[in-house]
Structure 1
Amino acid sequence: MEADLLSQTNQAGLIIVIGIFLMFFMGMVLLLFFYFSKKKIIQKELEKKNLELEYQKELILATLETQEDERMRIAQDLHDDISSKLNIVSLNSHLLTTPDLTEKEIEEISVNIVNLVSKTLASSRRIAHDLLPPVLEKFGLHAAVEELCFEVNSSKAVIVNYNNDVVFDEKDSIKHLHVFRIIQELINNSLKHGNATELSLSFEKENNKIKCIYSDNGKGFDFNKNESKKGLGMKNIESRIIFLDGTMTINSAVNKGTNVIFIF
């Protein structure tokens, strides 16, 4: 009996030891599982953060490139247009100091000076308009977009349908400039790349935010291709959307036009 009791005790002890070992083993497996799972999650988070940082970097570079292109364009306009006209005005002004000029010659030179000065003023107004549309500054976003649509419609080659159900807050003038530039870029893309003949643009309220709906009947593009996403104009739009703390969705397909919705 003592031998049987001892044998049973040994078996029970062995079972307990095996149970403890199994529990320890399973605990180690669980610990290793959680460790590697957490490590994998952290690694994915780091990869996501790196992708976001890379994306932000691309947007910043695109914004800087856009600004530099804009500065070069303005500098070229100032040099080729305004400076050249002012040089001719200066030459004509010196001609007026030439002795023994006839009244007809003086009149011709004076007319040339007046015409050149008028053209120079028109050029300077155009450059100033490109930098900051005066209608936007004086009358707000709705009036500026309305004028932009009128200018496009005046070409007779494109029809723009514009509708606005929103009263814009005048205090958000800086944000409205970004909205205006986005619309300019969208219209430019529709005309230059999409060969569109009809555009539609509208503003409406949605959950205390403003939704802008834009579409064209152009040739569209495959948005899944990287080339469509890497364009300087598209990156410029995306950087402005980020500044507006907004969201944007784009739907487009080849020969099916483009539809853009951004909320800010």
Structure 2
Amino acid sequence: MFFIRLFISFLILVFSGNKLLPQDNNSLEKVKISNVENPKKTQDLKEITPEQLRNKRLVSLSVILIILLFFLFYFVYQNNKLKQKIKRKDAKQKILLNVINAGIDSQETEQKKIASFLHDNINSLLSSAGLHLNVFTTKNNIQSEEIQKAKAILLEAHDLLRDISHDLVPTLLVRFGLIYALEDLCERNSNSSIEFKFSSSVLTETRYSEKFETKLYFIVSELLSNIIKHSEAQKAQISLHENQNQLIIIIHDNGKGFNAEKLNEIEGFGLNRIRVRIKKLKGNFSIISRANENTGTSVKIKVPIS
């Protein structure tokens, strides 16, 4: 601002000075007439030649051009500085996204390993132990309260491990695909407090790539968890459909809502992780919600089908 004010003051001074000088012969005559009573001033004006006027104008224009060039270089410098700042910010954001994505991928890989180990090894061992115990009691016709309790404990441990394995990587998702798994997810999360309805225009037998289905399943699962924990909703609807090689998932609830304009401040909802997951799938993610207006929340996910 200081440089701009200085430049404007200089322009005013230069042009004011030029106006005080005679610009042509007619102007010289007028100055001569008006200064008849001041011979000394008239003599000074006679000494100013047209060549001197041209030189003064050239000097003024040169100074103005130099100042303009200075401002031009100054603005170019500031623009480049701003671009470099934006590039550094984008680079930092890209690194952060890569770190988050690496963490998510690692987590999903570990979940699959643990789920597979629990299902294929621990559950099999428990089932085998229960089978041998049943054969032994049947052959020896043993009726023992301790053995009955042991059977019940083995069965309970088997069911708990099966549930844990299912939460890590749902069996329905692996065997039958995303549509079956999401429908089952809605049924399992529905209770007397909230009802999740599921609808899909996509054929139930439709299968996508394993990674694509797994990522979308956990995204929807996390959003349903947010509805249960934070929305105070009684009803929620999940709908799926395909359009121009894109899968569109819409989730709507009738809860209290929140300020969707402050998503970055809402860390507890895990929305940043969801956004990163969707961005990795090259999709987009939008939320429509207003705090404490009881109009509910609508989430729209659109991802290209892989």
Same fold (TM over 0.5): yes
The structural deviation recorded for 1:237 is 1.9
Q: Which amino acid aligns with 2:282?
A: D
1:31 equivalent in alignment to 2:67: no
C-alpha displacement of 1:228: 5.3
Shift of 1:232: 5.7
The higher radius of gyration belongs to 2
Work out the CA distance in 2 between the residues paired with 1:218 and 1:137: 32
Measured after TM superposition, the shift of residue 239 of structure 1 is: 3.0
Report % sequence identity: 25
Q: Matches of residues 2-21 of structure 1 in structure 2 within 5 Å?
A: 7-21=49-63
Q: CA deviation at 1:198?
A: 0.5
- 2:97 pairs, out of 40, 47, 56, with 56
Which stretch of structure 1 is more off in the superposition, 178-187 or 12-21? 12-21
> 2:230 is matched with which residue?
193
Distance 2:71 2:224 in 1: 60
Instruction: Return the match for 2:199 from 155, 163, 184.
Output: 163
**TM-score scaled by structure 1?**
0.71
What does 1:1-264 align with in structure 2 at a 5 Å threshold? Answer: 7-47=49-89, 49-50=91-92, 52-53=93-94, 56=97, 59=100, 63=104, 67=107, 107-153=144-190, 155-167=191-203, 170-225=207-262, 229-231=266-268, 233-255=270-292, 256=294, 257-264=296-303
Aligned partners of 2:252 and 2:229: how far apart in 1?
A: 15
The aligned residue for residue 24 of structure 2 is: none
Amino acid in structure 2 at the alignment position of 1:219: K
Cα shift readout 1:187-224 (whole Å, capped 9, x = no counterpart):
12112222221011111223321111001112222334
Q: Determine the C-alpha separation between the residues in 2 that align with 1:20 and 1:254.
A: 61
Cα distance between partner residues in 2 of 1:243 and 1:28: 45
1:150-203 CA-partner distances (Å, limit 9, x unpaired): 2234x3443222211235863412111111111111112112222221011111
For 2:193 and 2:59, the matched residues in 1 are separated by 89
- Cα distance change, pair 146–13 in 1 and its aligned pair in 2 (3 A): same
- Tell me the CA shift for residue 119 of structure 1: 1.8
**Is there any run of 5+ residues in structure 1 with no aligned partner, and where?**
97-101
- Alpha-carbon displacement from aligned partner over 1:96-125 (angstroms, at most 9, x marks no partner): 9xxxxx9766x3333233222222221221
Cα contact 2:226–2:269 (8 A) shared by 1: no
**What is the one-letter code of the residue matched to 2:275?**
E
Query: Aligned equivalents of 1:13 and 1:236: distance in 2?
Result: 69
Distance 1:226 1:178 in 2: 21
Residue type at the aligned position of 2:213: H
Q: What TM-score does the superposition give when structure 2 sets the normalisation length?
A: 0.63
Give the distance between the partners of 2:206 and 2:197, measured in 1 at CA.
23
Instruction: Give the structure 1 partner of residue 5 of structure 2.
Output: none
Counterpart in 1 of 2:11?
none
Q: Which amino acid aligns with 2:273?
A: N
Q: Distance in 2 between matches of 1:104 and 1:171?
A: 52
- C-alpha contact (below 8 Å) 1:63/1:235 kept by paired residues: no
Q: Moved runs in structure 1, 4+ residues, more than 6 A?
A: none
SS in 2 for 1:161: strand
TM-superposed CA distance for 1:18, in Å, is: 3.5
Bigger mean CA deviation after superposition, 213-222 or 228-237: 228-237
Count the aligned residue pairs: 238
> Is there any run of 5+ residues in structure 2 with no aligned partner, and where?
1-45
Letter in 2 for 1:238: R
Q: CA separation of 1:238/1:208 partners in 2, compared to 1, >3 Å: closer, same or farther?
A: same
Between the aligned partners of 1:18 and 1:222, the Cα distance in structure 2 is 58
